[in-house]
Amino acid sequence: MNYSNGKMLGVGIGIIAGLIISFFVLKAINKDGKAKTKYDEMQKIARGKAYQYAFWAMVACEGLLCWLTSGSFSLPLDGYTLHFMVILVGVLVQVSYCIWNDAYIGLNNSMGRFAAVSIIISLVNFAFAGFSIAEGTMVKDGVLQSTSINLLVAVLFIVIGLEILFKKITDNGQKED
Amino acid sequence: MKNLKLKAARAGMDLSQDDLAKKAGVSRQTISAIEKGDYNPTINLCISICKILGKTLDELFWTEE
């Protein structure tokens, strides 16, 4: 097995492990212990729109990348990181729209457990990013490597956390008006 | 258009938005949006709210223009 196939296998195993972990994380953050988060009718409509905006945001990003890379222009990112960033843009758009339209926190979500899991995920990713920086594997020949994804995910979780916090503050001001 | 009839009926039963939301199986924000007129609920949710508040659909959701 050459390096490329080995990396592909590693990423594949990583994705499967991620899906399995996500299943248990969802079970842990839901008050009823079920993996499926429940949303009411208004939240379902908002989430549908959020997926729509996320889809077009990803299409726009990929289109932009196609255009940029069609010429001699090259971004200081490796291919894997580049496409993962597009996924993160989609996730950010979807999550942000849901947060600001009261459709992110489901009916059976436990806010405390949700916050705890988010903080843990963020810290773990920051730790891995720290190791990469310390080992000098994050940037190679001026190109950002796939290990930078940990940093991006950690920052994404902080942005999501801050958005939820701001929304909660604005909601408390408008409660029962 | 604000749904003041719903707000009055809820307050009349001494229920908070959160209490009504829990009884109807929706989020507090959904009840708030209905009262503010920002969201038009489905007929199923309207019926559910009417049953909880002991009102008819006309009493809570019919508007005279």
User: Any idea what the CATH number is for the domain that residue B20 is in?
Assistant: 1.10.260.40
Judged against a pLDDT cut of 80, whether residue A38 lies above it is answered with yes
Q: Which of A40, A171, A174 sits opposite B26 (nearest CB)?
A: A40
Give the per-residue pLDDT at A77: 85
Quick one: A170 and A122 in the same domain?
A: yes
Give residue A123's pLDDT band: very low, low, confident or very high (50, 70, 90): very high
- CA distances from residue A48 to A42, A54, A93, A98, B58 in whole angstroms, order as listed: 10, 10, 12, 9, 30
Alpha carbon distance A76, A62 (integer Å):
16
The structural domain count of chain B equals 1
Classify residue B32 as exposed, middle or buried by CB count within 10 Å of its CB (0-12, 13-18, 19+): buried
Alpha carbon distance A173, A58 (integer Å):
34
Please indicate whether, in this complex, the C-beta atoms of A40 and B30 are within 8 angstroms of each other: yes
Quick one: A115 and A160 in the same domain?
A: yes
Give which of A156, A151, A172, A152 is closest to A95, Cα–Cα.
Answer: A156
Q: How far is B59 from chain A (nearest CA, A)?
A: 21
Quick one: A14 and A79 in the same domain?
A: no
Residues of chain A with Cβ-Cβ distance to B11 below 8 Å are none
CB atoms within 10 A of CB A161: 14
Give residue A1's pLDDT band: very low, low, confident or very high (50, 70, 90): low
Tell whether B65 is covered by a domain: no
Task: Give pTM, 2 decimals.
Answer: 0.88
Quick one: A67 and A153 in the same domain?
A: yes
Residue with the two structure tokens 């390096």: A3
Quick one: A134 and A165 in the same domain?
A: yes
Alpha carbon distance B9, B59 (integer Å):
9
Alpha carbon distance A80, A11 (integer Å):
10
Quick one: A11 and A71 in the same domain?
A: no
Alpha carbon distance A93, A109 (integer Å):
21
Chain B contact for A40 (CB, 8 A cutoff): yes
- Mapped onto helix, strand or coil, the DSSP state of residue A61 is helix
Percent of chain A with pLDDT over 90: 50
Which residues of B have a CB under 8 Å from any CB of A? 16-17, 25-27, 29-30, 32-33, 39, 41-42, 44-45
Q: How far is A99 from chain B (nearest CA, A)?
A: 12
Give residue A177's pLDDT band: very low, low, confident or very high (50, 70, 90): low
Q: Mind listing the pLDDT tens digit for each residue in B43-58? A: 999 999 999 999 999 9
Quick one: A16 and A80 in the same domain?
A: no
- CA distances from residue A155 to A31, A96, B47 in whole angstroms, order as listed: 27, 14, 44
Quick one: A110 and A166 in the same domain?
A: yes
Give the per-residue pLDDT at B20: 96
Average pLDDT of the residues in A17-32: 89
Quick one: A89 and A41 in the same domain?
A: yes
Judged against a pLDDT cut of 90, whether residue A147 lies above it is answered with no
Quick one: A82 and A161 in the same domain?
A: yes
The structural domain count of chain A equals 2
Show the DSSP H helices in A101-147 as ranges. Answer: 111-135
Please indicate whether, in this complex, the C-beta atoms of A42 and B25 are within 8 angstroms of each other: no
CB atoms within 10 A of CB A53: 14
Quick one: A3 and A82 in the same domain?
A: no
Please indicate whether, in this complex, the C-beta atoms of B25 and A107 are within 8 angstroms of each other: yes
Whole domain around residue A26: which residue ranges? 1-36
Give which of A95, A131, A133 is closest to A114, Cα–Cα.
Answer: A95
What is the average pLDDT value for chain A, to the nearest integer? 89
* ipTM field: 0.90
Give residue A75's pLDDT band: very low, low, confident or very high (50, 70, 90): confident
Do the Cβ atoms of B28 and B17 come closer than 8 Å?
yes
Average pLDDT of the residues in A41-60: 97
Give residue A164's pLDDT band: very low, low, confident or very high (50, 70, 90): very high
